[in-house]
Amino acid sequence: MPEARETGPAGRWIGASVRRVEDRYLLTGRGRFVGDQEPPGTLHLVLVRSYAASATIESIDAAPALSHPGVVAVITAADLDGVAPLRGVLDRPEFVPTDMPVLASGRVRHVGEPVAAVLAESAYLAEDAAELVEVGYGELPAVVSAGDALTAGAPAVHDAAPGNVLVDVTPISSPGLDEIFASAAHVVEVAVSTGRLTAAPLEGRACVAAFDERTGQVILQTSTQIPHTVRTAVAQSLGMDEHQVRVISPDVGGGFGQKCVVAREEVLAAAVARKLRRTVKWVEDRREGLTSGFQAREQFYRVRGAFDGDGRVLGLDADIRCDVGAYSCYPVTCGVEVLMAANELPGPYRVRSYRARSRGIATNKTPIAPYRGVSRPQTVLAMERLMDEAGRVTGLGPVEVRDRNLIDAAEFPYRNVMRVSYDAGTYRESLARCAELLGYTDWPAVQARALADGLLAGLGLSCFVEPTAYGTASFGLRKMTIVPGYEQATVRMDPSGSVLVLVGTHSHGQGHATAYAQIVADAVGIDPGRVRLRQGDTELVPHGWGTFASRSIVAGGGAVARASADLAGQLRAIAAHLIEAAPGDVELAGGRAQVRGDPATSVPVAELARVAHHAAHLLPDGLGRGLEATASFDPEGTFSNATHGAVVEVSPSTGAVRLVRYVVVEDCGVMINPMIVDGQVAGGVAQGIGAALFEELCFDAAGQPVSGSFVDYLVPTAADLPDFEIHHLCTPTTRTPTGSKGMGEGGTIGAPAAVLNAVNDALAQVGAAVDRIPVRPADVVAAIAAARGADLGRAAIGGLAGSRRET
Amino acid sequence: MTDVHAIRVTVNGTEHELAVESRRTLADVLRHDLAYPGTHIGCEHGICGACTVLVDGLPARSCLMFGVQADGRSVETVESLGTPDELGPLQQAFTDQHGLQCGFCTPGFLMLITAFLRETPSPTDEEIREVIASNLCRCTGYQGILRAVRAAADMGAGAGAGAGADVGAGG
């Protein structure tokens, strides 16, 4: 890791691993999370949730609950007259909208769907009383898997979608593709699938809603990544103007996408607070989080690749299914996985012809939302399995076949088959570097030695491009009815020369207070310690879209950089007036302004700030009278790239997979704070490894979730992970003011494919393979048994007998 | 509401007397009755460890303990380790090594490691990894936490952790 430091290199703060300013209060228990708020008189809201996956609601008897001590109210859908459901919409014909009711009315469509809310004087009493609410369900057959949902005659999750297909897109169908496949030297096919996941931030979702009698405002404190969008949703649902809703998102304990959509519970808390004129607090417990919190990632890919005799890909043909659960999330809809899967499959490869069909299939399971990387972990998994298979079929091996197909540095900006323009990157270079770091040329010998030791060793690679920071143009193409993408920042210097940054992004672990301060510090010539960040309050910060999709350092950082440049111009003009110089000759550095190269003219920035506010009469009209600038930035999209490499050891007897090495070579352009970048990569890789080996939300045949605790849903621990080896290449982008690209999701995107390829490299020695993640020990044992049954690799397995060392 | 007990509990050296319902968790007592909100609740079933505090010097999941069980005992929370102006050595190591991102799990890790380093001031890397595996972090991939504990141990944070030595005597 780059050494933490308190000073910038070469007089610049951008590029320095400045210790995070957030750390001091978070490390000392002085952070303030939603659950910490509990003003006197707070009512605690506990939800009665459906235990049936699909049912009609025949009756709700709240009387026993209402007579329980401390209970103030039991709210059902009947009490929420005029509160509209959440309706995420794509304005395109291939999309069927589904209303997500705030409380279920007449019908439930997944276990955990909110049916009634109990309000009591304590959380304990509310939980007691929730047990007493009698809901009569008329159970209906549930559709539990995407396969079942597509079966003829399957029950419809929504009447509006009789075949259970909510989205069905074919965004591209290149002419002549069938002929390309018919005449290709090699046709390679893979089928991969991925288990259902959830983001599982350590702080679950939570909100505290109050009604301000003085202003008539609903004030909603909520653990969200997107305060302004929550305000829009709540205002729309409650039929209020946006100024009548104030959303505050204080410290947030992780989000990873799950909190970048609007939850029913947020609207509900606001509606109940308004109705009862009381402060209402809801804190999700972990069982709720794992069963009712937004889910993700249950996808199925069948991908065919046509290759010429030299191993160059000629065409791709993909069929993709995403199990999107019971409702569309707001605002991105259940199409979020479906569209990104089809649009981004070709990745870093030079694919000229492409056809993809991608469907979003409704099931009686908890709805999906974005989860770090959205569909990219899957598209990369499919493509990287395909590349390994192509390397095998052509005899080129995994490195050479990738190298022949990766976009070359000379081809940037590269317009891909989907008409998306990639800025410059280091696709081939990162592969070469990663292979070198892994000792790829010596790998066969290493693998043979492990085999002699009774272990199946495997090496896996994963190359990808990480499209980040979509702007309004990209989001507009999706046909969302509200289109995110730009960001605004206000940079305000106070009379003592310190700067306050107000921005619409929302840091919840990414260190924006530090990174933005570094950007301001370089522009204005002050120490980053003199810069503070204000975020997460719709009443105070400019309208913005929050933090998701690796957008903040690009969109938010871009806006901060532009506003800072404006502020710096104002300071130079004031200094020029005071020292009687031309503004263009004034430089700002080290907390002072001076004519370049003439220290005798030096004036402290703090003095300029004082004059601008307290002695503005000394300045001509148009200068001073406050010191503030606001700017926006609407990115055209930046494209980080990386190669990940994993080395594993697989125990043939227990099926256990042990990660031995994990190497990342990534390029995200200019790193504002390399320490934070490394932290984002590492955290992402850990989540990707979790997806590859450990995590899955399981359901029984009736649609009952059976992974309701951290005993069942296996978030990786320190014992499951090796030390990560993270390396950087740097190709500054010309598309952002700082040269930085977004990079928050790459770790999660690359890891599943690297790990699965490594496992399969190991298993290939015994003729076995797995194509589904998570790869559980039982899957490995079953794959080896199947290979043995198929009489493959018998000699290799026989050779292992009696000499196995468990991993 | 007859099920209420008077308890006396020392938190970070300050003695508190209060009445608690028998089923009220120690985590809720600390957070909401005694205003030590730095102790966080992440799972309420003893797996994630965000709520870890020290009870008589030993790490305990405060979500799995009742407040009444702390009667007559001494509890240490994250608020005892330092202040924003003056971080303790382990906290300093966490910020130096980027051992935290969102900071929600961090108090639990700090308390777990504080007890660990008192008991094992010169741990091996394997011992560090094993104890870190007691708690969950979703942001860091544990890389910075592992480095931070190594760094804290190397600069003697465990040996010098005298602040809790007296209250740790019972452990």
When pLDDT is cut at 50, 70 and 90, the band that residue A481 belongs to is confident
- Residues in chain B with CB shorter than 8 Å from the CB of A510 are 101
Give the closest residue to B100 by CA, choosing from A183, A508, A77, A499.
A508
Q: Which two tokens stand for residue A800?
A: 């292992």
Q: Is the pLDDT of residue A2 over 50?
A: no
> CB–CB of B103 and A1 under 8 A?
no
At A342-400, the pLDDT tens digits run: 999 999 999 999 999 999 999 999 999 999 999 999 999 999 999 999 999 999 999 99
pLDDT tens digits for range A221-243:
999 999 999 999 999 999 999 99
* Residue from B48, B109, B138, B146 to probe the interface with A (highest A Cβ count within 10 Å): B138
B102: distance to nearest CA of chain A, Å? Answer: 4
| For range B56-83, the mean pLDDT | 98
Q: Which of A24, A27, A694 to mutate to test the interface with B (most CBs of B within 10 A)?
A: A27
Report domain extents, chain B.
4-80, 89-160
Asked if the C-beta of B78 comes within 8 angstroms of chain A's C-beta atoms, the answer is yes
Cα-atom radius of gyration of chain A, to the nearest Å? 28
Q: How close B170 comes to chain A (CA, Å)?
A: 25
The predicted pLDDT at position A11 comes to 77
- Cβ pair A202:B143 closer than 8 A: no
Interface probe, candidates B39, B94, B139, B145, chain A, greatest A C-beta count within 10 A: B139
Q: What is the pLDDT of residues A634-678, one digit of tens each?
A: 999 999 999 999 999 999 999 999 999 999 999 999 999 999 999
Does the CB of B23 have a partner CB in chain A at under 8 Å? yes
Range scoring the smallest mean pLDDT among A87-96, A790-799, B8-17: A790-799
Touching A: B residues 91-120, CB under 8 Å: 91, 94-98, 100-107, 110
Write out A344-383 in H/E/C secondary structure.
HCCCCECCCCEEEEEEEEECCCCCECCCCCCCHHHHHHHH
Report CB contact under 8 Å: A27, B21.
no
Q: What is the pLDDT of residue A97?
A: 96
- Which pLDDT does position A800 carry in this prediction? 45
In the structure, what pLDDT confidence band is assigned to residue A574 with cuts at 50, 70 and 90? very high
Q: Which are the contacts of A298, defined by CB distance < 8 A and separation ≥ 6? A: A146, A194, A195, A196, A197, A322, A323, A368
- Reported ipTM: the value is 0.95
Model confidence at A8, pLDDT cuts 50, 70, 90, reads: low
pLDDT of residue A795: 47
Share of chain A above pLDDT 70, in %: 97
Residues on chain A touching B163 (C-beta within 8 angstroms): none
List CB contacts (< 8 A) between A710 and chain B: 43, 45, 47-48, 136
Q: Does A6 touch chain B (CB under 8 A)?
A: no
Question: Residues B109-141: pLDDT tens digits?
Answer: 999 999 999 999 999 999 999 999 999 999 999
Q: pLDDT grade, residue A797 (50/70/90)?
A: very low
Check the CA dihedral A156-A158-A160-A164 and report its sign. Answer: negative
Q: What is the DSSP string of A509-531?
A: SS-HHHHHHHHHHHHHTS-GGGE
Task: Please name the fold of domain B89-160.
Answer: DNA polymerase; domain 1 (1.10.150)
pLDDT tens per residue across span A125-149: 999 999 999 999 999 999 999 999 9
**pLDDT average, residue stretch A150-171:** 97
Strands A456-468 and A217-222: unpaired
Q: What is the pLDDT of residues A582-623, one digit of tens each?
A: 999 999 999 999 999 999 999 999 999 999 999 999 999 989
**CA closest to A251 among chain B residues:** B102
Residue A724 in contact with partner chain B when CB distance is under 8 A = yes
Do A27 and B100 count as a contact with CB atoms less than 8 A apart? yes
pLDDT tens per residue across span A403-445: 999 999 999 999 999 999 999 999 999 999 999 999 999 999 9
Residue A729 makes CB contacts below 8 A (sequence gap 6+) with A426, A429, A430, A433, A665, A666, A667
Domains observed in chain A: 34-140+205-252+259-292 (3.90.1170.50), 375-471+637-800 (3.30.365.10), 486-633 (3.30.365.10)
Return d(Cα A650, Cα A657) in angstroms, integer.
5
CATH number (3.40.50.720, 3.10.20.30, 3.30.9.10, 2.120.10.80) of B4-80 reads 3.10.20.30
Give yes or no for a contact between A278 and A211, defined as CB atoms under 8 angstroms apart: yes
| DSSP secondary structure string for all residues of A658-719 | EEEEEEEEEE-BS-S-HHHHHHHHHHHHHHHHHHHHT----B-TTS-B---STTTS----GG
Instruction: Mark yes or no for CB contact B95/A24 under 8 Å.
Output: yes
Residue of A nearest to B33 (CA): A38
Is the pLDDT score of A4 beyond 90? no
Location of structure tokens 């990660």: A659
C-alpha A356/C-alpha A317 separation (Å) is 6
Average pLDDT over residues A729-748: 97
* A511 at B interface, C-beta within 8 A: yes
Size of the A and B interface in Cβ pairs below 8 Å:
185
The mean per-residue pLDDT over the stretch B32-53 comes to: 98
Higher local confidence (pLDDT), B157 or A768: A768
Percent of chain A surpassing pLDDT 90:
95
How far CA A382 is from CA of A86, A260, A392, A465, A749, in Å, comes to 33, 26, 15, 14, 12
- CB within 8 Å: B141 and A710: no
pLDDT at A178 over 90: yes
The whole-angstrom separation of Cα A763 and Cα A784 is: 7
Query: Does A253 sit within 8 Å of B129, measured CB to CB?
Result: no
pTM given for the model: 0.96
Mean pLDDT of chain A: 95
Residue of B nearest to A744 (CA): B139
Q: Residue A620 in contact with residue A576, Cβ under 8 Å?
A: no
- pLDDT at residue B159 is higher than 70: no
